[in-house]
Amino acid sequence: MDPDAVAKAFVEHYYSTFDTNLATLANLYRESSMLTFEGQKIQGSSNIVAKLTSLPFQQCKHSITTVDCQPSGPSGGMLVFVSGNLQLAGEQHALKFSQMFHLMPTPQSSFYVLNDIFRLNYA
């Protein structure tokens, strides 16, 4: 399958899950997975989802602006770089964000997230 199509499908799945059923994002991470969220380092699927569910908003909606991807080397991994807007419930203006994922293949022809780095681009 075309890597760009895989990256786009992953990104759509990731953010629609984030916006509608955040707890099930845990399925995309493993115990070795790392998240750096606005500079804070978190490791492991359950810790990562605990961090994301603790964020101070009731509801959010991600809108994707760009998705870029590259193979990360002989491991079969894939780097996915996203920019977009994040609308929080009750806020007038959307926030801009950038996020990168390092996806690693699973034996089931799927991917999990090994690396995840998220930053808001403050205006």
Please report whether residue 17 would count as binding a second copy according to CB under 8 A. no
Closest to 113 in 3D by CA, of 37, 32, 53: 32
When the beta carbons of 26 and 104 are compared against a second copy, the nearer one is: 104
**Under a CB-based contact definition with an 8 Å cutoff, are residues 80 and 99 in contact?**
no
Please report whether residue 95 would count as binding a second copy according to CB under 8 A. no
Which of 56, 73, 90, 107 touches a second copy (CB under 8 A)? 73
Which of 22, 64, 94, 117 touches a second copy (CB under 8 A)? 117
Q: Using only C-alpha atoms, what is the Rg of the chain?
A: 14
Query: 10 Å Cβ neighbour count for 89?
Result: 9
Q: Which residue type sits at 52? A: L
Q: Distance (Å, rounded) from C-alpha 89 to C-alpha 11?
A: 21
Please report whether residue 42 would count as binding a second copy according to CB under 8 A. no
- Please report, as ranges, the residues that interact with a second copy according to CB under 8 A: 34, 36, 39, 41, 66, 68-75, 77, 79, 81, 83, 96, 98, 100, 102, 104, 114-115, 117, 119, 121, 123
